[in-house]
A and B are shown apart, each in its own frame.
Chain A
Amino acid sequence: MIAAIIRKELLAVLRDGRLLVLAFSVFAVLSGFFLASVAEHRQVQQEKQAVGATAKEQWDTQGVKNPHAAAHFGIYVFKPDSPLASVDPGLRQYTGQALWLEPHKRNGARFNPAADQGLAGRFGQASAGFVLYALLPLLVIALAFNAVTQEREQGTLRMLHSLGVSAAKLLLGKFTGLLLAFVVVLTPAMLIAVIILYQNFDLAGDDILRLSALSGVLFVYYAVFAALAMSTSIHFKSSRLALFVLLAFWAGSVLIAPRLGATAAEMLVPTPSATAFWAAIKQDIQQGLANDGDHDAREAAFNVQVLKQYGVARIEDLPVGYTALKRSFNDNYSERVHALHFDRLSNAFERQGRFVHIASLLGPSIAMRSVSMALSGMDLAHQRHFEDEAEQYRDYFIGLTDDWDRERSHGAERGAQGHDADWGSVKAFSYTPPPLGFALYHALADLLVLLAWLAVALIWLLFSANRLKP
């Protein structure tokens, strides 16, 4: 019986004029946005590679100079984005595009694109991801809002009732048929998307896994909307009212909840201003953490220790460059302070991310959005992973220049010099993005929220079956 209902529902939806219009619209909008996203992604990636290579070349050819002066020239590094970023660019608009690595200071990524292109994206990014998480639920609603009310209005529900069709089977059949119809609508656009991805990028196994996971999660998301739409259609007598309620839910989930959540998170977990953040780092370096003593005291103690270690009475008698030694000592301390403050800031951002989920009570869109960003490698966790790796690289190459400076000078003199061969021996920054497991671990809470929504929606659908009356 249930197979017959599914078949009938699928045919009914496929024969409905709405489907043709909606399917064409979805195909056009999704393909258009996706093509634009892919073109932008390719351009950004190529530019990052080219600029990264040129910046390294500029580093390599600094000529003869003091190694520490060379270190101050610094190196720019860029986060290579996964091909899936062309599906969902995630936080790209608001995270900096380039990270400048220089001595003494850890910087944040600079040049967020939103500062240059703020107006168009004020209501949401024009990306395939936006279509998938914001617009396609509308399609589900448009297909499902009158699934039951129409049967009631046309009198066919009474006929089905008189035939003894179980309400639960009827609903389950309609629900499955609707989802199948939705898949039929979506499949051409998805196939085109996969072909475009294959043509434009070298997809690694991890990328394919991520894409599959994203497709699965999106299916769950649409199933939530479908189940809720179906239940709403049972509870309201008129199609108009059912549509009204469902559109209100969509607006709440997609437009209102993220903003309310973000605002609540900002209020509940305050973060420092840029001025306060950098000032606090300076203060901790100057005054010292806990009982470390202030900058001058630490340096004096280090002075004594160095003289003792090398068995000399004066700095001038040291066999290595004292300035480089002292600088390394101070930089090590500075790194500790920077790590402390950057970790605090990142943790505050993470806590804000968790507080955003308060608003998930209004709808599943926040969770879907977060999972999508995580699987595309464009969320905060991936950004932090990149910045931490870059910080290790900064430690590596600044350490090298300090070594050269220390070994090529003596005592208090600062005559060490380096050459292009030295600069060229610094390995280029190579970043390997974390695997799928990392993304799933960081998206676990969001996945649970989505599954909870699915469970609630399905349970409500089953309970609604009891209320299904002609």
Chain B
Amino acid sequence: MTGLLQAEWLRFIRNPVNLWVVAAFFALLAASALWSGLAAGEFRARALQPQQQTGNSQVRAEMHDAPVAGKGGETVKSADNTSVRLPALGGLALSVRQMDLLGTELRISTRSRYTDGRNSDQLFNPLLRELGLLDFASIIALLLPLTVIALSYGLVQEDRERGVWRLVCAQMPHPWRLVFASLAVRFVMVLVPAATASLLAFMPDSGSSLYAAMYWLVFVGLFAGVWIAISGLFLLLPVSSGAAAVGLLGVWLITTFAVPAGLSWAANGMEPMPSRLAAIVDIRRVQAQTSRQQVELLSAWYLAHPEISAVKEPSLAIAGLPANLELDSKVRPLMYRFDEVRKAHFEFMERWSALSPGLAAVLTADRLAGIDASRYAGYIEAVNQFEDRWRAFFVPKMMSGQGAQALDQPPVLSPLPATESVWTVILSQSLIGVLLLLTLAILRNRFGRP
């Protein structure tokens, strides 16, 4: 077998087309890796900046309706300066731009963040998102299968077309060994650039972790293995090399584009995503209701807190505060439904990811980056709990018209639990890989047909 591997290796490297393909694959992956790694580093650096920017009282050009200084005004100001951010995990470089799509930085205040259009929405050019950026996981999910196809399609069929395979069968008792050696060489030649580029992606990101890198490398190995096995099975087909290429491309198109779309459709059928537009109407109904009840809610608040004496002539901020709290308590559950459904969809897709290796790649990347829907839902829950504690600390001080004391220690956001190791995706990819290899092994003697 070693001799066969050597022979196949020589055959591989002496074909300039193969070398060009591997070089182009590595160049694109390396570019994507460097960009992703640097973008991840920038993201972590930016995570430190917003506190400084929003906390600068010089830039707080107040609108008349914004919280104003006055009685309790200092408290309101320190309140406005609090923001929290979803901490990225060690695999951020794999899926860095997905962080922009969700509100990862949230401002904590007495106002509902869901009724302020500027608190959590990110700014980005929709065109660039639509065209796609160089997020490493997406690039590897798209290019690795294409490289495997380019290097291995029609290996046997072409030899048959040229009459070479008849000679191979005549000279070898087990022609499948030649095919397997050839596939093994291709597996290594795809895996090495992919693994090297993966490490390149992790290196510039100071927050990357060994765990994430190792997990990802194992996944990339499985991913490459699955595609090599699929290519191997296509070598068994009694068709021309061109037809084999078109067929493989069809499998790639279906598993990469159609299956995720189908799974998304199925997930939505099982648990429909609520409508954001319908939520607008619900929010406005609550807004109108709490606005009408502002005076009653103010009185009710003081009644519920007899230890705090009511402020005479309260500022707009104080007068509207109980109504804002009431509004948020009703809007939060409405909006949390979206995160819950996203989580359910994500987990559904993980369960079925064996059907789409490309989808499995981005699911794994999202988990490792810490932007998966399950973790995000947990983050929102933690932020809501923190906001409640934060309000429990600040609101009485604001409503009493007194500022915070220097010795007062406001609450801090408890660290989010580290991501759970979810093995669903990697196990299902292993299973599908083993099944494909087993099928190939069972059918191996068919390679002996000239």
Contacts and interface: CB of A to CB of B under 8 A. Distances in A.
Interface string A76-95: 10100000000000110111
A380 B349 CA distance: 32
Given A262-B128, A263-B134, A51 B281 contact: yes
Interface string A393-435: 0000000000000000000000000000000000000000000
A286 B130 contact: no
B363 A279 contact: no
B342 to A, nearest CB: 6
Interface in B3-33: 17, 24, 28, 31
A248 B150 contact: yes
Interface residues of A, number: 101
Contact of B277 (A48, A100, A255): A48
B273 A116 contact: yes
B122 A98 contact: no
Nearest to B339: A116
A271 B131 contact: no
Interface string B158-186: 10000000000000000000000000000
Interface string B94-132: 000010011001000000000001100111111111111
Given A119-B362, A283-B58, A240 B291 contact: no
Interface stretch (A3-11, A55-63, A163-171, A306-314): A55-63
B314 interface: no
B261 A126 contact: yes
B245 A247 contact: yes
Contacts of B292: 63
A120 interface: yes
A114 B292 CA distance: 35
Contact of A271 (B125, B133, B359): B125
A334 B129 CA distance: 30
A324 B339 CA distance: 41
A283 B281 contact: no
A73 B284 CA distance: 8
A63 B292 CA distance: 9
B257 A271 contact: no
A352 B117 contact: no
A445 to B, nearest CB: 13
B449 interface: no
A93 B124 CA distance: 13
A194 to B, nearest CB: 24
B142 A279 contact: no
B335 to A, nearest CB: 11
Contacts of B132: 123-124, 258-259, 262
B187 interface: no
Interface in B21-69: 24, 28, 31, 35, 46, 49-50, 53-54, 56, 58-61, 63-65
A243 B131 contact: no
Nearest to A59: B284
Contact of A352 (B125, B143, B345): B125
Nearest to A240: B241
Nearest to A263: B134
Contacts of B359: 119, 122
A426 to B, nearest CB: 15
Given A110-B117, A115-B102, A274-B122, A98 B257 contact: no
B283 to A, nearest CB: 10
A372 B63 CA distance: 42
Contact of B281 (A55, A91, A247): A55
B276 interface: yes
Interface string B255-277: 01110110111001000010111
Given A55-B280, A58-B284, A259 B260 contact: no
A217 interface: no
A104 B131 contact: no
A437 interface: no
Question: Which of A276, A278, A356 has the most CB atoms of chain B within a 10 A radius of its CB?
Answer: A278
B276 A98 contact: yes
Contacts of B275: 47
B357 interface: no
Nearest to A96: B121
A266 interface: yes
A281 to B, nearest CB: 8
Question: Which of A126, A138, A352 has the most CB atoms of chain B within a 10 A radius of its CB?
Answer: A126
Nearest to B161: A240
Interface in A265-283: 265-266, 271-279, 282-283
A122 B138 contact: yes
A247 B291 contact: no
Interface string A100-135: 101111011011111111111011111000100001
A295 B261 contact: no
A51 B345 contact: no
A118 B98 contact: yes
B63 A259 contact: no
B195 to A, nearest CB: 21
Contact of B260 (A113, A122, A240): A122
A42 interface: no
Given A98-B277, A112-B126, A275-B54, A259 B134 contact: yes
A76 B276 CA distance: 12
B253 interface: yes
Contact of B257 (A78, A126, A345): A126
B127 A55 contact: no
Contacts of A58: 281, 284-285, 288
Interface string B298-331: 0000000000000000000000000000000000
B91 interface: no
Nearest to B162: A238
Contacts of A373: 130
Sort A-B residue pairs by CB-CB distance and give the 3 closest, nearest first.
Answer: A286-B61, A120-B264, A94-B126
6 contacts: A65-B291, A73-B288, A108-B117, A119-B264, A273-B50, A352-B128
Given A54-B281, A251-B143, A255-B142, 20 more contacts: A76-B284, A93-B130, A96-B121, A97-B277, A98-B277, A100-B117, A108-B121, A119-B346, A120-B264, A123-B138, A123-B141, A123-B257, A125-B130, A138-B249, A138-B253, A240-B241, A262-B127, A262-B132, A271-B125, A279-B59
